[in-house]
Amino acid sequence: MIDPQRWQRLSPLLDVLPDLAEPEQQQRLAMLHERDPALAVELASMLASARRVAELSFLDGSVGGAPVPQTLVGRHIGAYVVEEYIGEGSSASVWRARRHAESAGPADEVVALKLLHLSRMSPVGMSRFRREGLVLSRMRHSGIARLIETGVSEQGQPFLALEFVQGQQIDAWCNAQRLDVGARLSLVESLLAAVAYAHEHNIIHRDIKPNNILVSAEGAVKLLDFGIAKALAADPLDELITIQGQHVMTPEYAAPEQVNGGAIDATTDVYAVGVLLSQLISGRRPVARKLPCEDRDLAAAVQTAGDWRTTLAGRRRQLKGLWPVVERCLRDEPEQRYASVEALAAELRRHRLRMRNAKNEEWVQ
């Protein structure tokens, strides 16, 4: 076990170094060695172990994509019995599970059980997974899927037991419910409240996208997956960890500073919410950082999109003035975006208030 003080030093470095090419890893380790030789040696050992695991995974054919999961249905893992496969990412699979009767805790409690892939069980992979659990343990907000407990299976596989959220992705929910502009903005405001809470606790999510935002049958928004979240605690080694690995992102929602290795702050999440806003309202994400509509009038895109978007067609008054909000979120320079998610939420509330006060929903040409 790594002592807490040591972990505080290792954690931010493990966020970044594994995703860099080996020559750059060595360069940064050399810089670190000048300041903290013992920490550099420990980190170098962990990285070397991770490379050995990756080489073995390559030889047995388990890399190059998410491995096909072996069924765990019916297996006991910790205090839970696995019931159903939900999905997976590059480093972990997620299963619905139920607390078994013999265990302590709420009877029949249903959880989302997140299991680290066996091919990622290097010291680096396990440290990152542990870090996600530590981040989630700090989150206590109704809009964030809560961590219930952490553990290790009998086979030595780390897991996170998370709040099970029964719902749809936010974009699918909006479309299925045929929500108008105001209702869609209201959902985004709920999301922003959860993101603001994370920011208050010094955590940047870095992966805001529809897959990670569920809406329950009652219309409650839940933000999921803090797997690549970043803590912004000040550290004397900050200059060693500013470049982010290009694999630690979802490119379609990533801000320029994520792609280019710049500094990450609250405006990085503002950018991702801007992409989400464009998608929820026009049905399209910006392509190559270009906005969906040449004339920057969202109604033009909505009126030609068809299908569910017909519910938005003709509501040009609702859309008027909203496009500059999206555009500001998507600016390349972080300092030109909204300075915080709270500022963005306030802008959206003002827009909804203008819509409610409008006497006529039809746009006056």
pLDDT tens per residue across span 139-178: 899 999 999 999 888 877 889 999 999 899 999 999 999 8
C-alpha distances (whole Å) from 177 to each of 93, 171, 189, 205, 300 are 29, 10, 18, 27, 22
pLDDT of residue 315: 55
Give the least confident one: 162-171, 265-274, 321-330, 350-359. 350-359
pLDDT band at 309 (very low <50, low <70, confident <90, very high): very low
pLDDT band at 19 (very low <50, low <70, confident <90, very high): low
pLDDT of residue 88: 77
- Residues above pLDDT 70, as percent of the chain: 71
Which among 197-201, 297-301, 354-358 has the top mean pLDDT? 197-201
Asked whether residue 307 carries a pLDDT value surpassing 60, the answer given is: no
pLDDT band at 334 (very low <50, low <70, confident <90, very high): very high
- Segment 109-115 shows an average pLDDT of 93
Return d(Cα 218, Cα 309) in angstroms, integer: 22
pLDDT of residue 160: 93
Which among 40-54, 126-140, 244-258 has the top mean pLDDT? 126-140
pLDDT band at 187 (very low <50, low <70, confident <90, very high): very high
pLDDT of residue 364: 39
pLDDT of residue 247: 46
Written as one string, the DSSP assignment of 121-185 is -SHHHHHHHHHHHHHHHT---TTBPPEEEEEE-TTS-EEEEEE---EEEHHHHHHHTT--HHHHH
Give the least confident one: 7-11, 223-227, 228-232, 327-331. 7-11
pTM above 0.75, yes or no: no
- β pairing state of 203-204 and 76-77: unpaired
Tokens representing 349 are 């509330």
Asked whether residue 238 carries a pLDDT value surpassing 50, the answer given is: no
- Segment 107-113 shows an average pLDDT of 89
pLDDT of residue 96: 94
Report the chain's mean pLDDT, rounded to a whole number: 77
Asked whether residue 275 carries a pLDDT value surpassing 70, the answer given is: yes
pLDDT of residue 302: 43
pLDDT of residue 28: 84
C-alpha distances (whole Å) from 360 to each of 149, 215, 355, 357 are 52, 30, 9, 9
Phi-psi map region of 321: left, alpha, beta (phi>0 left; psi -120 to 50 alpha): left
